[in-house]
Amino acid sequence: MNILVTGSHGLIGTALVPLLTSKGHRVVRLVRSPTPAAPDQVVWDPAAGTLDPTRLEGMDAAIHLAGENIASGRWTPARKARIRASRVRATRLLADAIARLSRRPRVLLSASAVGYYGDRGDELLVEESAPGTGFLAEVCRDWEAATEPARRAGVRVAYLRSGVVLSDAGGALARLLPVFRAGLGGRLGSGRQYMSWIALDDEIESICFALDQDSLDGPVNLVSPHPVTNQEFTVALGRALRRPTPFAVPSGALRLVLGELADELLGSVRVQPARLLASAYAFRYPALDGALRHLLEARPHPPTR
């Protein structure tokens, strides 16, 4: 297939593109730069609302992963506006362009997040569960709705509601590793809040799987079937690194440092990948211990002195 990919230089896109090409697909990257740097690139500017639809002709599928990192600093009003625009405005621009094509891709896989469900305590959440409340839940709801022009044009659209993607190359785990390797790791707040996670290998494999599954439209949870509490994650990571995890970051201190973002980190999201399991997707790393062991053995790190 000819596959259009946005966000190809992010954590997920960087791993996904080589997997797609290894499966025989041709990848065209939608990039934000003044001019394309390679023949396989098409330029767009979501902030300015510019994208030439004719450059998308001939695509069989589109995978939309672009969006500003939500966890790289405090959520000021300006930063929240950028987070929303980088998802909602960019998605609407792409969906509008796809809808105007004479030969449209048959599928659009558009990134979303389990933040859609909000802070739900111990409630077990599946794709049919109602949306939650809060900034991220609102962004995810609008983000998914922005794909509607493509859906109305007859394109199969799936919203990929990803959990925390575990990789030592970036994201939350990569930021935690130096702290835990130094023996300074610990739980956040009470540690009882649930964390829905997925290994990077399963994230990209499940995206490829969804390309060919016509039954997967609408919301699809990309998470392990075994969510864990923050305390369980803390213990598992300490065990994998053979380091103690004696510390705890009080909720109040986290809010003092991170502001509103802390409420998202302390929120509890216990999500099941019901539609992936019903479609017979086989997880490589369904359990956290196996996922961490794979990641940490794949790229050994020198011991801390």
* pLDDT at site 42: 92
Whole-number average pLDDT of the chain = 92
Q: Select the CATH number that applies to the domain covering 2-165+197-223+271-284 from these four: 3.60.15.10, 3.30.360.10, 3.40.50.720, 3.40.50.1000.
A: 3.40.50.720
pLDDT at 36 over 80: no
Using the structure block, give the residue that is written with the tokens 């997967």.
216
* Model pLDDT, residue 203: 98
pLDDT of residue 262: 79
The whole-number pLDDT of residue 188 equals 92
What are the pLDDT digits (tens) for 235-281?
999 999 999 998 888 888 877 777 877 788 789 999 999 999 999 99
- 88-109 per-position pLDDT tens digit: 999 999 999 999 999 999 999 9
- Give the pLDDT score at 261: 75
Domain boundaries, the chain: 2-165+197-223+271-284
Distances, alpha carbon 301 to alpha carbons 178, 199, 207, 241, 296, in Å? 10, 19, 29, 10, 8
- Confidence (pLDDT) at 258: 75
The 10s digit of each residue's pLDDT in 276-302 is 999 999 999 999 999 999 999 855 444
**Residue 112 has what pLDDT?**
97
Task: Give the mean pLDDT of 3-15.
Answer: 95
Q: What per-residue confidence (pLDDT) applies to 206? A: 98
| pLDDT at residue 271, rounded to an integer | 98
